[in-house]
Amino acid sequence: MSLSRRIERAQQRADLQETGPDAVAPAAAPKPAQVAAREDWLRDIRRSLQDEVIKASDALLAVDAGGDIHKEVAAVVDRFLGASGSAITRDERMRLIEEVIAEVSGLGPLEPLLLDPSITEVMVNGPDHVYIERGGKVQRVDVAFLNDDHVLRIIDRIIAPLGRRIDKSSPRVDARLPDGSRVNAVIEPVSLIGPVITIRKFSARPFTVEDLVGFGTATAEMFEFLRVCVEARLNVFVSGGTGSGKTTTLNVLSSFIPEDERIITIEDAAELQLRQEHVVTLEARPPNLEGEGEITTRDLLRNSLHMRPDRIIVGECRGGEALDMIQAMMVGQEGSLSTGHANSPPDMLRRLETMVLMSGYDLPLRSIREQIASAVDLIVHTARLKDGTRKVVNITEVYGIEDDEILTQDVFAFVQTGVNDDGKIEGLLAPTGIRPTFMGKFKANGIELPPGEFGIPAADPTQAGHSRQGKGRWVVGETVLQADEARPTIGLGRAVRASGMVYVSSVGPVDPETGLVVTGTIKTQATQCLTNLKARLEAEGSSLDKVVWANWSLRDPEEFDAFNREWARWFQGDAPVGQCTLMPSQQRRAGFRISLGVIAEA
């Protein structure tokens, strides 16, 4: 039966269903049943027209390379309509022509969605269900593919130029469009609803600080703070949930890197949009049909260390490459950037621990946490709020480790103030009142902070500050330039004379010249403690050989043997008796591994 005959019968059936004894004369507008029937008929025409387009595809592609594609496609459509005897309106003909052009030179039904700048994500759930994200909200659109094969042809058109493949033996693929938009596709047997395509669109023009401030992502002052952090070569992770704006934020942060630095980017599918000139972009490669030739993000990260990078940017850490990234941050590639999926800054650190364990190395958990605490300086956490807006909600410092737990503190946090008449959440990324311990890093790099220092409170010399000596890569550059940092007021020792005895407590590994905690092993800190103890006793008219009782406070009891060897070296023969206790939290936060207390004869 011809297509025209089928539409005629469908219209007759619709007319019969609508007529009856109380029927009212039809209005000028088509009836819903008639519209649906005509759409079914037009769908049949599109399906048949697809075969004609496929047959003429080579010729049409040649025309598209240097001719009038619209004229040639119109000729193909007219020949088909004439041969099938189909009568369509002028608007329907123009729509068919545009659809064929999109099919030949673009991505078919997806083409108008990709050209719409207000759409940020396109989701194809099989041929009949297409969704978009606009303004942070997901909605279904009246767009459809002809069948599963039609969706598969579009997927092949996306991945073929990249040398990637998708089939039943490899039913998922990550790719990118020429404009940098990220594409993920899955097919059977992984997908049970047909081929699925997810496209994360990227702006043709990279977003700037002004754009994100206009979107309400964060304030200009907060981006200025992040700028000086990047210039001071802090290692930064951008964390957040799916679709929270991590990559966009990373793009903006990377724009703060000076032009005279060599930047190497590493990604599964290249989507970063750096504007500096000296940028080397590396992209991972999946295995070929024989399962060979795979190049992972971890392979590229290791290789990048031989390419003389000033900065390394990893698009996203998902697995064992996190260990290599942390190692790079610790051994010279300061100022490196990356992203990761997490619900909060502490969750990002826990995910890093898990990813390091995925590297295949059997490392103690404490060793992993110590390396993370030493490598990562700042976590910028993004979130997509209930109203669909994306915001930076936390800027969190990683400042050390205590009781095998990585220590963090929010420097800025998002405070919601209300909801406006349009249902948009209002609030501000405001200072928490905590002064980050890396403030001396700015002066060490010659960075002048604006008056008020972003609302961060000034240093309080009466309070014990967090020791920065755990960040071993900073010690040399900051020891001299740390005058404004809070120095530990603990560890200098307290002495009391009573009944012919001298009681001394809380002698820590503090350099009396600088007031800073010395770094190094338990032996190094024990030597400093005993040196301080000797001076303190002599100032009170006593000495080490008059000590009759001692208390050793250790951060890690397993280090007692190493400490005791140094203790025995200072006390030859009969050493004073004593006891070992666990160190209080205040001394732990200051970076002590050991502190001493003694009772001696006056």
pLDDT in tens, 17-34: 444 444 444 445 566 777
Q: What is the mean pLDDT of residues 126-138?
A: 90
* Whole-prediction pTM: 0.66
pLDDT, one tens digit per residue, over 137-194 is: 899 998 888 889 889 989 998 998 888 889 888 899 988 888 878 899 999 999 999 9
Same domain, 426 and 542: no
Cα 109 to its chain centre, rounded Å, is: 31
Give the helix/strand (H/E) hosting 250: helix 246-254
CA dihedral 355, 361, 365, 368 (to 10 degrees): -70
Same domain, 413 and 344: yes
Whose CA is closest to 325, among 350, 347, 356? 356
pLDDT of residue 471: 57
Is 21 domain-assigned? no
For residue 206, cis peptide bond before it (omega within 30 degrees of 0)? no
pLDDT of residue 599: 92
pLDDT of residue 152: 92
CA dihedral 129, 132, 138, 142 (to 10 degrees): -50
Q: What is the mean pLDDT of residues 511-531?
A: 88
pLDDT, one tens digit per residue, over 431-441 is: 888 888 888 88
Beta-strand ranges (E) seen in 135-171 are: 137-141
Same domain, 182 and 70: no
Pick the residue with more confidence: 566 or 468?
A: 566
Distance CA 529, CA 549 (A): 16
Is 474 domain-assigned? no
pLDDT of residue 61: 52
Same domain, 302 and 397: yes
pLDDT of residue 129: 93
Percent with pLDDT over 70 in the chain: 85
pLDDT, one tens digit per residue, over 54-107 is: 666 555 555 554 456 667 677 777 777 777 777 777 777 787 777 777 777 778
Characterize the bridge pairing of strands 501-507 and 425-431.
unpaired
Amino acid at 488: P
Distance CA 172, CA 165 (A): 9
* CA dihedral sign, ordered 539, 543, 547, 551: positive
pLDDT of residue 473: 53
Identify whether the C-beta of residue 478 lies closer than 8 Å to the C-beta of residue 440: yes
Same domain, 98 and 173: no
Q: At what angle do helices 32-55 and 57-66 cross, to 10 degrees?
A: 80
Q: What is the mean pLDDT of residues 346-362?
A: 91
* CA dihedral sign, ordered 48, 50, 54, 60: positive
Characterize the bridge pairing of strands 311-314 and 337-341.
parallel
Phi-psi sector, 382: left (phi>0), alpha (psi -120 to 50), beta: beta
- The pLDDT confidence band at residue 341, using thresholds 50, 70 and 90, is very high
Is 445 domain-assigned? yes
Same domain, 366 and 226: yes
Amino acid at 45: I
Residue 346 has pLDDT above 90, yes or no: yes
Same domain, 338 and 435: yes
- The neighbouring-strand residues paired with 173 are 185
Same domain, 551 and 577: yes
Q: For the chain, first and last CA: distance in Å? A: 116
Domain that holds residue 498: 492-601
Q: What is the mean pLDDT of residues 223-234?
A: 93
